[in-house]
Homo-oligomer: A and B are copies of this chain.
Amino acid sequence: MNGPDQLHAPILCSDCGIYQLCLPTGIGQADIELLDKIVKNRRIFKRGEYLYRLGHPFHSVYALRSGSVKTYVLMDDGRVQITGFHIAGELLGLNAVNTRVYSCEARALETTSVCEIPFDRLEELGQQVPSLQYQMLRVMSQEIAYNQELMLLLGKKNADERLATYLIGLSSRFAKRSYSSTEFNLSMSRSDIGNYLGMAEETVCRVLARFEQEGLISMQRRLVRLKDIEKLTAVAQGGGKAESPSPAVGKRPQSPVSSRNKQVG
C-alpha cells in the first residue's frame, strides 16, 4: 500500500472537482472551466451498484466525489480478487483505454457520487490542454505503482503484515483527504478485505481480533481506531514480532532472504 496519491494531494477543481486530473499549478482557470463543461454529468450509485462491468464497452472515466468503490477481477469459477479500493478524489476506468473494454468491474460500497466523463471528450480537451494529457499519464502511473505495492503484499507478506499494511495505507490516504487518520470506517466487509488482501475472511477476523487484544487497534464492527500506528507500521514492514536477539535471522514469513535469493539477473 502506501498507496495511491503518493506525491500530489488531489486538488478540487471548481465545483465538480476533478481531483486527480488537476494540479495546483498545472491547469489554468480557463481550462478548468472547459473541463467543467465536460464533466457536468453527475451520477449517484447506491451500495452494490456497478459503475461498470467486465467486458462492457469503455466510454467514460469516473471521478469519485464521495463514497467508495471497489474494483475487482474474476475467475470463471467465481473466485474474486479485489484490485482496488477507491475513495473520494480518485479517478477510475482509465485502465480500459487500451482494449476499449473494461477488464474489471467497479462496484459502489456505499452510496457514492461520481462525475462521469466521456473519454473522447476528455481526449479532445487533452489536445488543447497538454497538462491534462500529462495528468492522465500521472494518474495511470500512480495506479501502476500502487498495484506494485499490492503485488508485493500478495506475493510476499504474511497475514499480520497484510492487515497492518492495509490499515496503515488507509490511514495515510484518509489523512491526505483531511479525514481522521486514526479513526475511520472501513467501508469494506471482512469478506471484501479478505478478497483484497488474498486471505480468508476468517483469518481477517482473527488477526484483527489479535491486533485489538495486543492494543494496536480497537474495533467495533467496521469502525477502527488505530491506537499504536508506530507499532502497526513496524508490523506492516515485517518487524512485528522479533525484537529478538538475532536481528537478521528469523524474519519469519515466506521468502527467507537466504543466501540463495541473491538474485543475479
Contacts and interface: CB of A to CB of B under 8 A. Distances in A.
Contact of A154 (B7, B96, B155, B265): B155
A212 interface: no
B133 A95 contact: no
Nearest to A108: B265
A145 interface: yes
A191 B97 contact: no
A183 B240 CA distance: 45
Nearest to A82: B155
A137 B155 CA distance: 27
A163 B130 CA distance: 43
Contact of A156 (B79, B127, B257): B79
Interface stretch (A32-40, A69-77, A171-179, A216-224): A69-77
Given A73-B151, A98-B7, A151-B151, A80 B261 contact: yes
A91 to B, nearest CB: 12
A96 B141 CA distance: 6
Interface residues of A, number: 73
Question: Can you tell how many copies of this chain the complex includes?
Answer: 2
Nearest to A133: B133
A228 interface: no
Given A77-B238, A95-B141, A137-B137, A148 B195 contact: no
Given A6-B98, A151-B154, A237-B76, A143 B145 contact: no
Nearest to A84: B148
A140 to B, nearest CB: 4
Contacts of A265: 47-49, 70, 107-110
A149 B97 CA distance: 16
B141 A133 contact: no
A191 B98 contact: no
27 contacts: A8-B98, A47-B264, A48-B265, A73-B149, A73-B152, A75-B156, A75-B238, A79-B156, A79-B253, A81-B152, A83-B151, A83-B152, A94-B141, A95-B148, A97-B137, A97-B141, A98-B137, A98-B141, A98-B145, A107-B263, A107-B265, A137-B140, A144-B144, A147-B148, A147-B151, A151-B151, A155-B195
Interface of A: 6-8, 47-49, 70, 73, 75-81, 83, 94-99, 103-104, 107-110, 123, 126-127, 130, 133-134, 136-145, 147-152, 154-156, 189, 191-192, 195, 197-198, 200-201, 237-238, 251, 253-255, 257, 260-261, 263-265
